[in-house]
Amino acid sequence: MITEKATKKAQMEAEKSEEIDRQMTIKKLTIRLWISRNQIPDSMKERIFSCIKQTLERNKDFDMEKLIYHLSDKDLLKEIKLHLCLPLLRKVQRLKNEKEYLLQLICEFLKPLYYNEDSYIIREGEPLNAMLFITQGSVWCFKTSNGENGEGPHCVEKGDFFGEELLEWGFNSSPSPKLSDFPISTKTVKTFTKVEAFALTANDLKILVARHSDALSNAKTKFTQAARRCLKERRNENSTA
């Protein structure tokens, strides 16, 4: 016999399910627009909708303009970052001759950031604590001092980046990046529109450089060991010939 308590519970669950479906209907248009703007592959679309629905099922409300923050599937988030940021990393002069492994490693460390219109990201003379890859929107880069007369502001838009000096600090320091050599921004950067971006922070870059150095060291050790084994085998073959 179905009790009144069980009936009430079933009714509440049905109402919750209807509310989730209603919210998903409202949010689907925004999600589809974001997917379209970023040219997200079909293989990821349903997984994105599924993640958003799971977030709603956990009674969590969220800002749809910051969709990436709410993707709990770590593998999906990794794939999205590779899709959005690998093409940008390949455009960076400092990284053009680096192996794909390093570019993918950098993608793992990138963090999504959002800025409102007409907001300062960094001011001239401040420590350059992040390299920014813009995936939506545009920013102005300009000098506020009297130096470099004749150099006007320039616009950095979707598909571009700024702060490449941070990579030089991270990868060219030996044996590890030092705060005493920290780069200083030579320009002020201010949003022109709302901006979606991914940032490689100085702290994450230090960790990344250490991990990359360890990987190179291990690869070098394995190569040396393999070369020694090969040389030893050749010597043994010559001695028995």
Contacts for 67 with CB less than 8 Å, ≥ 6 apart: 30, 31, 34, 48, 52
d(CA 156, CA 141): 7
Classify residue 133: in a domain, yes or no: yes
Classify residue 175: in a domain, yes or no: yes
Cα angle: 46, vertex 49, 52; to 5 degrees? 150
The predicted model scores a pTM of 0.76
Going residue by residue through the chain (241 aa), what tens digit of pLDDT does each one get?
Answer: 557 666 666 666 666 666 666 767 777 888 899 999 999 999 899 999 888 888 777 766 667 778 888 888 899 999 999 999 999 999 999 898 888 888 999 999 999 999 999 999 999 999 999 999 999 999 999 988 765 555 678 899 999 999 999 998 888 765 666 767 889 999 999 999 999 999 999 989 988 888 766 544 443 343 333 334 444 445 555 565 5
What CATH number is attached to the domain comprising 111? 2.60.120.10
Q: Which residue has the tokens 């929107």?
A: 137
Comparing CA positions, the residue from 36, 38, 39, 18 lying closest to residue 28 is 36
Classify residue 46: in a domain, yes or no: no
Classify residue 97: in a domain, yes or no: no
Classify residue 208: in a domain, yes or no: yes
